Structure 1
Amino acid sequence: MNNAKTNDLIHAVRNALTEEMRGKYSDEVIRCWLEPTRMGTIDRPDGYACVKRDCGDQMAFSFMVKDDRISDVRFQTNGCINAIAAGNSGAEMAMGKTVGEAMVITGRDILNVLGGLPEESLHCAEHTVETLRQALRNYLEFKNIPWRYDR
């Protein structure tokens, strides 16, 4: 979708939401939910992790590294609007960063980009960061293993 259509859709959804719901979700949360730019998987990623929470929400991150920078990053979740928005924002923030730079992304950073989340969903930002960091650690642990060079 182009930006004008996306913005029209965001505003249409926002207008359809009840007054209470409009106060909960920023335009950025709605954008990330309706049109996540980083949702998906990567075949044979350089780094991968999947974290399942006690509540049943699951999130996965996979990414590729080229010239010491994250060249592609994708996430998947079975979670709600907040989990999708947080996962997408975390992936967008990691894109183009070094592994070290991505490692210091925080839940607060994600909340700031999103304009906040409802109180009961703040854990979605932490779940995103936890999963991203596990994927980054997976990359660091295995990056020098010979079977990784068969690409």
Structure 2
Amino acid sequence: MRKKILVMDTLDDFLKTLQNEIFDEAKQALGEKGFQRWRNPKFYGKMETPDGQSRVTGNCGDTMEIYLRFENNRVSNASYFTDGCASSSVSGSFAAELTLGRNPDEVTDITAQTVLNTIGKLPDKDLHCATLAALAVQEALSNYMSNLSPEKFEKL
């Protein structure tokens, strides 16, 4: 019986050490702000009945979806969904957050650089994830604008 406990303690110690190494690497790659968002995603999930939505697939194969809901000409709710890596998830989360409270003109100002500046950093090999998220935001905005009735469009 003592042998099983020793093996279990050793396995538990190994797994804790491995998890700490993975988290340390993720913090190095994503920065503290990006790491925290990766561990605790915000705005994640597909939205029912959005006013604008998009689905964009990048050259890397990751797909990003952005969903926007508007009230009084401002984004009142936003969410994202991705099948991609941690950098895609973090980028989508911050991109969705950046839209909140903005009117369509202000949403057009959201670029890959805006997303990256908000995150703080991404690994060089994953910088395209910020571009993917920003492009998905712009496509969702375009979808929203194209669905506006002429009367609503004139009031913008």
Q: TM-score range by the shorter chain?
A: 0.7 to 0.9
Which residue number corresponds to residue 70 of structure 1?
75
- CA distance 1:14–1:95, shift in 2 (3 Å): farther
1:85 aligns with 2:94: no
Change in CA separation of 1:14 and 1:99 when aligned onto 2, cut-off 3 Å: farther
Q: How many residues align?
A: 135
Q: What RMSD in Å do the two structures reach over aligned CA positions?
A: 2.2
The one-letter code of the counterpart of 1:99 is: P
User: 1-side partners of 2:115 and 2:68: how far apart?
Assistant: 18
* Contact preservation (8 Å) 1:63, 1:72: yes
- Does 1:40 pair with 2:40? no
Q: What TM-score do the two structures reach when normalised by structure 1?
A: 0.81
- The residue aligned with 1:99 is 104
What is the distance in 2 between the residues matched to 1:59 and 1:43?
Answer: 16
Residues in 2 aligned to 1:54 and 1:79: alpha-carbon distance in whole angstroms: 12
Amino acid at match of 2:117: N
Higher helix proportion (structure 1 or 2)? 2
Contiguous gaps of at least 5 residues in structure 2: 1-17, 152-156
Query: Where does the alignment leave 5 or more consecutive residues of structure 1 unmatched?
Result: 1-12, 147-151
Misfit runs of 4+, over 6 Å: none
Shift of 1:54: 2.8
Sequence identity percentage: 28
State the TM-score, normalized to the length of structure 2.
Answer: 0.79
Query: Which has more radius of gyration?
Result: 2
| Mapping for residues 129-140 of structure 1, pairs under 5 Å | 129-140=134-145
Q: 1:50 aligns with which of 45, 55, 64?
A: 55
